Amino acid sequence: MRLLLPTTATLPLFDVAASRRIEARALTHSPDLMARAGLAVAKLALALRRGDGPVWIACGPGNNGGDGQVAAQRLTEAAVPVHVGHDAPHRPSLVIDALLGLGLNRAPSTEMQLSFAAMAACGAPVLAVDLPSGLLADTGQAAGGHAVRADHTLALLTLKPGLFTGEGRAHCGRLWFDDLGIAPDEAPSAELLGPTPRPARRATSHKGSHGQVLVVGGAPGMQGAARLAARAALACGAGRVYVDLLDLPADELADAGRPELMRGTLGELPQAVGVVGCGAGAAIADQLPALLQQLPRLVLDADALNAVATHPRLQDLLRARPAGTTVLTPHPLEAARLLGRDTGAVQADRLTAARDLSAHLNGCVVLKGSGSVIASAGARPAICASGGPALATAGSGDVLAGWLGGLWAQQPDADAHTIACAGVDAHGRAGEVDGVLRAGDLIERLAALR
Ligand X SMILES: NC(=O)C1=CN([C@@H]2O[C@H](COP(=O)(O)OP(=O)(O)OC[C@H]3O[C@@H](n4cnc5c(N)ncnc54)[C@H](O)[C@@H]3O)[C@@H](O)[C@H]2O)[C@@H](O)CC1
Kind and range of the H or E run holding 214: strand 212-217
Instruction: Return the C-alpha torsion angle 280, 286, 290, 295, nearest 10.
Output: 10
Strand (E) or helix (H) holding 438: none
Within 10 Å of residue 339's Cβ, how many Cβ atoms?
18
According to the binding rule CB under 6 A, does residue 328 interact with ligand X? no
d(CA 400, CA 443) in angstroms, rounded, equals 9
For ligand X, the closer of residues 129 and 175 by Cβ is 129
The DSSP bridge partners found for residue 49 are: none
The b/e string for 367-386 (b: 16+ C-beta within 10 A; e otherwise) is bbbbbbbbbbeebbbbbbbb
Among 28, 105, 110, 204, binds ligand X (CB under 6 A): 105
Q: Measured from the CB of residue 133, what is the shortest distance to ligand X in angstroms?
A: 8
Does residue number 139 form part of the binding site for ligand X (CB under 6 A)? Answer: no
Measured from the CB of residue 300, what is the shortest distance to ligand X in angstroms?
39
For position 5 contacting ligand X by CB under 6 A, the verdict is: no
Q: Nearest distance from residue 143's CB to ligand X, in Å?
A: 6
Burial class (CB in 10 A: 0-12, 13-18, 19+), 21: middle
Nearer to ligand X (CB atom), residue 103 or residue 224: 103
Contact residue for ligand X among 12, 62, 224, 389 (CB under 6 A):
62
Q: Are the C-beta atoms of 237 and 410 separated by less than 8 Å?
A: yes
Q: Which stretch binds ligand X (CB under 6 A): 107-115, 183-191, 231-239, 416-424?
A: 107-115
Task: Tell me if 97 contacts ligand X by CB under 6 A.
Answer: no
Check binding of 264 to ligand X (CB under 6 A): no
Q: Name which position in 56, 82, 113, 130 contacts ligand X (CB under 6 A).
A: 130
Contact 286, 216 (CB under 8 A): no
Q: Which stretch binds ligand X (CB under 6 A): 29-37, 89-97, 288-296, 336-344?
A: 29-37
Nearer to ligand X, 8 or 105 (CB): 105
Q: Choose which of 96, 129, 420, 426 interacts with ligand X (CB under 6 A).
A: 129
Query: CB-wise, 57 or 112, nearer to ligand X?
Result: 112
CA contacts within 13 A on the Cβ side of 346: 23
Task: Report if residue 33 touches ligand X, rule: CB under 6 A.
Answer: yes
Tell me which stretch binds ligand X (CB under 6 A): 58-66, 198-206, 276-284, 365-373: 58-66
**Would you count residue 40 as binding ligand X (CB under 6 A)?**
no
Q: Which stretch binds ligand X (CB under 6 A): 104-112, 203-211, 303-311, 359-367?
A: 104-112
Q: What is the enclosing helix (H) or strand (E) of 365?
A: strand 364-367
Verify binding: residue 23, ligand X, rule CB under 6 A: yes
Query: 45, 80, 112, 225: which one contacts ligand X (CB under 6 A)?
Result: 112
Instruction: State the number of CA atoms in the 13 A half-sphere of 112 facing the CB.
Output: 21
Q: How far is the CB of 37 from ligand X (least distance, A)?
A: 3
d(CA 158, CA 138): 12
CB 239 within 8 A of CB 210: yes
First and final CA of the chain: distance in angstroms? 28
Candidates 3, 27, 120, 392; binder of ligand X (CB under 6 A) is 27
**365: contact with ligand X by CB under 6 A:** no
3-class SS letters over 10-29: CEEECCHHHHHHHHHHHHHH
**Spatial CB neighbours of 32, under 8 Å, sequence gap ≥ 6:** none
Smallest distance from ligand X to CB 178, Å = 9
Site for ligand X in 157-216 (CB under 6 A): 157
- Can you give the binding site for ligand X, defined by CB under 6 A? 23, 27, 33-34, 37, 60-65, 67, 100-109, 112, 129-130, 156-157
